[in-house]
Amino acid sequence: MQRKMIVALITFLVTVFGTVSNALVFIAARRMSSMNSSFGIITKNQAICNFLMSLIFLVYIFPLQISAMKLMVTYSHFVGMFAMTVYEISNLSHFLIAVNRFCAVFLPYYYEKLFTVFSTKILRNVIWVASAIWCMVLYELIGCKFSYDVASWSLAFLATDMCTQLTWYSDFTFNTSFVVLTLITNLLTAFKAGKNSRMLMNAAGIKMSKRQKQRELNFVKQSFLQGLSVFSGQVTYYLIAPLLSNPVLIFIIGSLWAFMHSIEGTSLRNWSPKNYLLQISCFVPGLKNGGPYRSCRDYLFRYCIWNRIKYVCIYRRSKNELDEQFIRNNYKEPDNC
């Protein structure tokens, strides 16, 4: 009885925090004009997934931990299928956010063509439909149901040889591969964005401020921690939880895959590709923090820098990389900076 109440208390505290924090993230994102972009659509979708996962455990799993009502346990496999659908959507949304940032940094000329608001909504809807069909086939039609397990106080797959082998590939291998791919994509984006920023500032004779260095470091940390959180949820459920004997520890370790969605509400930050394109190279040496200060209207093709006398806009060669020598030789007066 004491263990059951400890488990229920942990579930209540974590999921209440997750429900509230992710709801606030979604509300705040809706009120920000900058989040009406492609990146904002995906970020809001991620917040919805985190909110739904927290809500599932709060309104369905938590009551079952207090009192395992037979009817709710019987039909819990439908809730489990919905939870897995949300989980798959969340992982694919992480990957889509990473691709969105990657295109903004590596393909700035094509970014707005690739990620229009309309195309992003289509991608979002495809993710929802594909994930729903994927989970319905695997966990309902095939019969590897993901339902409430009274002994472990949480959702668990049907313990048969076929389901164990199936979920190892359909869940662990599939989702872990996406997590690793997302992490690599984010780290490449962070490296390229930092390289571009330093190149432009070096060309203008500007030193990178502590604030700019911290911003780059924060993005790397955020990308790494998000990937690590999802990866740890997978590893702990499949590899660590089966080795434990304490029921409370088994529940905590085995439920990290879901609880990570609650915690993630605190790490969804606005690293918008559009903000990168607008601000990455607009610095004023005279300011204490070094910028960003202002941007060019045509931000996909030119960048503003400060040469200690006036603003100058640097036009990029069409579809070519920006280099220091080109900056020094090809700047011109701004039309509207």
What class does CATH assign to 2-183+230-268?
mainly alpha
Please report the sign of the dihedral spanned by the C-alpha atoms of residue 214, residue 111, residue 108, residue 331.
negative
Residue 211: per-residue pLDDT: 64
Rounded Cα–Cα distance for residues 240 and 257 (Å): 12
Per domain, the residue ranges of the chain are 2-183+230-268
Q: Among positive and negative, which fits the CA dihedral 102, 104, 107, 113?
A: positive
At 120 the pLDDT is: 93
Residue 268's pLDDT is: 56
Helices 117-136, 76-106: axis angle to 10 degrees equals: 150
Choose among 92, 21, 89, 18: nearest CA to 56. Answer: 18
pLDDT of amino acid 74 = 92
What is the mean pLDDT for each group of 10 consecutive residues in the chain (337 residues)?
87 94 89 81 91 95 91 93 94 90 82 88 95 94 91 88 90 89 85 71 58 65 71 83 85 87 67 46 34 34 34 36 44 41
pTM flag (> 0.85): no
